[in-house]
Amino acid sequence: MRPYVPLNTLKPVGEDIWIVDGPEIGFDYLGATIPFPTRMTVVRLASGDLWLHSPIAFDEALAASLTAIGPIRYLIAPNTIHYWYVPDWKARCPGAEVHAVPNLLRRAKRPFAIDHPLVAWPAAAWPDDFDQDLFTGDVVTEAVFHHRASRTLILTDLIENFELERVESRLLRAVLKLGGAADPDGKAPFDMRLSFWRNRKRIRASARRMLDWAPERVIMAHGRWYERDGTAELRRAFRWAL
pLDDT in tens, 179-233: 999 999 999 999 999 999 999 999 999 999 999 999 999 999 999 999 999 999 9
| Whether the Cβ atoms of residue 74 and residue 93 lie closer than 8 Å to each other | no
pLDDT in tens, 139-187: 899 999 999 999 999 999 999 999 999 998 898 899 899 999 999 999 9
pTM of the predicted protein model = 0.96
* Residue 24, Cβ density class (10 Å: 0-12 exposed, 13-18 middle, ≥19 buried): middle
* Residue at 156: amino acid letter: T
pLDDT score, position 31: 54
Q: Is 152 helix (H, G, I), strand (E, B) or coil?
A: strand
Q: Is residue 65 scored above 70 in pLDDT?
A: yes
More confident residue, 20 or 35: 20
Confidence band (pLDDT; 50, 70, 90) for 8?
Answer: very high
Q: Is residue 29 scored above 90 in pLDDT?
A: no
Residue 87 parent element (H or E): helix 86-92
CA gap 228, 12 in Å, rounded:
14
pLDDT score, position 25: 84
CA gap 53, 73 in Å, rounded:
11
Confidence band (pLDDT; 50, 70, 90) for 36?
Answer: confident
For the chain, what are the domain ranges?
Answer: 11-102+115-237
pLDDT score, position 33: 65
Half-sphere exposure of 12 (CA within 13 A, CB side): 4
Tell me the C-alpha to C-alpha distance, in Å, between residue 26 and each of 23, 29, 36, 52, 173.
Answer: 10, 9, 6, 22, 16
pLDDT score, position 180: 95
Q: Is residue 26 scored above 90 in pLDDT?
A: no
pLDDT in tens, 122-143: 767 899 999 999 999 998 999 9
pLDDT score, position 202: 94
Indicate the CATH number of 11-102+115-237 among 1.20.1260.10, 3.40.50.2300, 3.60.15.10, 2.60.40.10: 3.60.15.10
Tell me the C-alpha to C-alpha distance, in Å, between residue 114 and each of 31, 189, 191.
Answer: 30, 28, 28
Q: Which of 193, 165, 195 has the alpha carbon at shortest distance from 180?
A: 193
User: Lowest-confidence range among 34-43, 83-92, 151-160, 181-190?
Assistant: 34-43
